[in-house]
Each structure stands twice: as C-alpha cells, then as structure tokens.
Structure 1
Amino acid sequence: MSFYKLYDFLRELQQNNSKEWMDENRNRYYEVRDFYIDWLNKMDIKLAEIDPDYTHTPGKKAINRINNNLLYHPNKPIYKDHVGAGLDQEPKQGDFYIHLGTSESFIAGGFYKPKSSLLKSIRQAIDYNGEELLEILNKPGFKKMFGWLIEDGDSLKTAPKGFPQDHKYIELLRKKSFAVQTDLTQKLVTSDDFENHVIQVYKEMLPFRNYLNQAVSV
C-alpha cells in the first residue's frame, strides 16, 4: 500500500460517490485507511521526538471520518474526496492538520474560526504582546512556507469590542481565524521526502502554535 493507491482510491470514490460503490469497495477503503493510520502512528512518534510538549495522538484518533455530515449539509456527497487527520490533539489547543485530497492537499495549523472565548484570549495576547506574533509571522522561513494567515473572508471591518480603531495591531485584532496553511503536491506526498517535509512544516509552525496555545491557556 502507498500514497499512490490512496490517491487512486479517492479519485475513483469522487467519480462514484455512492453507498453502493463504497460497499463494493469497502475492503479497498479499509486497506487505504489502515495504511494511513499506520503512517500517522509513525509520524506521531517522530513529532513527539522533536517537541517535548507534543500530545501523543494515535492514528485511529487522528484520522477523520470519510462520511460527510449530511444532517447539517444534506446537499453534500455521501463521502468526502479527501482524508484528513489531526495530530498533536489537545483540548483547546491549536490544530496540526494534514489534508490529502483529489482537489487539494495541504498541511494547516492554528485556530480556524475558534469559538468566541478562545478568540477573545488570542486578541488579549495580541494586545499585550502582538510584536512577538508579528516576529513569528514575518520570519523569512515562515513566510516562505506559509505566506501569511489564512484569509477566511470573515475579518471584522472595524475594531473588535474593547479595542481602539488606531490600535498598533488592529489588522491582527480584526482577524477571526489565526491559522496558516502550506499546500502539498501529489508528487511530494508520494515521494520519499514526504515524512521529512511534514517534520519541517511542524517545526516551522511550532512557534506560531505555541504562541496561540499559550494565549488560550492563560
């Protein structure tokens, strides 16, 4: 089993997104799923070796369900066109998410549209020490890998409650998401260098996630 077969399965699933097709190919799905879980288990060990605060997350816990939630999104296909997984899972802490799909593959992390209490804590941290966050975001290696914060199209037009319009860090304070993303090609995912690349992404993202995690832990 390999990432080549994982992508092949996802492409066929996208073209035949039905319970009947999945039932006929259930064993193939389990093979792909088990391969990805084993790979996640290995990454879990490797990431724990480089981060003393890493929270062990077994592959079975890390991997997301392939079924879409049709209760809240009845117009979506039955199955997703990707496999997603979150490592270093800790309640109220920022994500480290790996997304492998037919239309896009990427690694993302941080807080995407967090609930109001967490967002409030992040804004308070920026108010107190936004310079540290800016230094992280403007580090050349970080900018090369992630660019800037994910644009969710939902930033405030004005200052959040309790902050002046001319605040030094107003552009950051207006954000409703504090997350970054780096895209992956299928060529990279299927290469021998993929594990090392994931480790490098984790290392580069770590100061950003640490800043946010500390903010919501205070």
Structure 2
Amino acid sequence: MNFKNQIAFLKELQKNNSKDWMDANRKWYKQVRDEYIGWLNSMNTRLATIDNEYYDTPGKKGINRINNNLMFHPNKPVYKDHFGAGFDKKPKTADFYFELGTDRCIFAGGLWRPESKVLRSIRDAIDYDGEELVKILNKKSFKTRFGDLYEDAKLTNAPKGFDKDHKHIELLKNKTFAVFQEFSTKETNKASFDDELINACKEMLPFRRYLNKAITV
C-alpha cells in the first residue's frame, strides 16, 4: 500500500491540531482511516499464514484511537501525530505494534512495562533458561534488524529474589522486554514494504514466543 495520503493527512493535522480542523476534514480522515484499516486487514490475513498460533486481529480491532487521552495527559495535543495499530493482540500476551508517522514508521513487538506478576514470570523464565533468550537476541539477523532490547527504565539493583551476581543480571533488571525496527516514509511507500514487514514479523516470532511461554506456562 502507498501511505502518501495518510502521511499528507497527518502533516496537515500536525499544523492544525484542533477539533475544529478535524470536524472540517472529517471526510478526509474517514477516507485515510478506512484505507489504513483495509491495509491492516490484508496484513492480518498474511500474518495468520506464517504463525499457526496467530490471534486474528482485524483492522478495526487493531487500530488505535487517534485522540490523545487528555484526562491523564492534559498537556498533550488533542490528536496523535501518527496512526498506530496492533497485530496478534491476544489478551495478556506479547503482540506486534505498527506506527505510521509523518517522517518514520516503527514496527515493534514484545511487552512494554508489564504488570509485576507478568514481569516476575519473565524473570523466572530468564533465571531458568536465560541462555535461550540470549541466543535469540544475539542471532545475527535479529541483531541486524532490531539491535538490542528497547532502552527503557531499568532497576539499579538486582530484582527481589535474584542474586546480584546472576549471569543474566542485566536482562533481569529490565522492566520492558521489547524490540523495534524503524523505517523511513520512503521505505514504507515501496511496493516491497509489506513483504519486508512480514520478514520482520518472522524474525521476531522466536522472541515473542519466548515471552509468551514465560507468561502463560
């Protein structure tokens, strides 16, 4: 899909981030949103063919609201500056996330600051079989595509119940277990982009499966 229409809309929204502007351009918004949902639907179908555990997530269920939550973040603009959506959104598991912005696109997956019980399960898995996660993270093709784990807040000391000299102590200190790949808008508009995204999903599958096994077993 060519995202030029979506990007053009987002650029104008950034310059005119108000309910009045949105109301005046509601027809344009519905058009770009419907096109985006159509693309999400096609990707949802393709993703189901590469993973027999894939959780069906049609575009309308995967797409995020464009409105910011002003109740908890009153200083944010009325509307977001991107279109976001999730794939494989089985409740209480790691999922894929796609974000289309005006100058870049982000494809991510994993768990962002999970609740304490889930985080403890991941740490227990690392304690039991951390070598498997290290192997996944250090695989050359994985590292080339995603780099390291997403940089987020980490504990200064060892988590409660784990030794400070644990061989996987740096992994255990993480509060977020996620990775991402960034694409330019030029890349997103290439005919080969959908295939590239599918390849990224395939590369990320072992990582997500490790996390999901940790929090469901």
With the shorter chain as reference, the TM-score category is over 0.9
- Report what 2:189 is aligned to: 190
Superposed displacement of residue 105, structure 1: 1.7
Q: What SS does structure 1 have at the residue aligned with 2:56? A: coil
Q: Write the mapping of 1:10-159 to structure 2, written as runs, cut at 5 A.
A: 10-152=10-152, 154-159=153-158
- CA distance in structure 1 between the partners assigned to 2:5 and 2:39 by the alignment: 14
Cα distance in structure 2, aligned partners of 1:103 and 1:124: 39
Runs of 4+, deviation exceeding 4 Å: none
Q: Does structure 2 retain, via aligned residues, the 8 Å contact 1:2–1:35?
A: no
Q: How many pairs align?
A: 217
User: What secondary structure does 2:121 align onto?
Assistant: helix
Instruction: Answer yes or no: is 1:161 the counterpart of 2:160.
Output: yes
Q: AA paired with 1:156?
A: L
Q: Secondary structure at the match of 2:107?
A: strand
Q: Deviations over 1:26-71 (max 9, x none)?
A: 0000000000000000000100001000001000000000000000
| Counterpart residue type for residue 198 of structure 1 | L
Could you tell me how far 1:2 is from its partner in structure 2?
Answer: 3.7
What's the offset of the Cα at 1:182?
Answer: 0.4
Tell me whether 1:208 sits opposite 2:207 in the alignment.
yes
Contact 1:108–1:179 at 8 Å: present in 2 too? Answer: yes
Q: TM-score, length-normalised on structure 1? A: 0.98
1 CA distance for matches of 2:26 and 2:79? Answer: 13
Aligned residues: CA RMSD: 0.9
CA distance in 1, matches of 2:171, 2:60: 35
Q: Determine what percentage of the aligned residue pairs are the same residue.
A: 58
User: Following TM superposition, by how much is the alpha carbon of 1:103 offset from its aligned partner in structure 2, in angstroms?
Assistant: 4.8
* Structure 2 residue ranges without an equivalent (≥5): none
In the alignment, residue 116 of structure 1 is paired with which amino acid? S
2-structure distance, mates of 1:136, 1:117: 23
Provide, for residues 163-213 of structure 1, a one-character-per-residue CA deviation record: whole Å limited to 9, x for no partner.
000001000000000000100110111110110011001000000000000
Task: Give the Cα–Cα distance (whole angstroms) in 1 for the partners of residues 62 and 91 of structure 2.
Answer: 13
- Is the contact between residue 103 and residue 185 of structure 2 (CA under 8 Å) also seen in structure 1? no
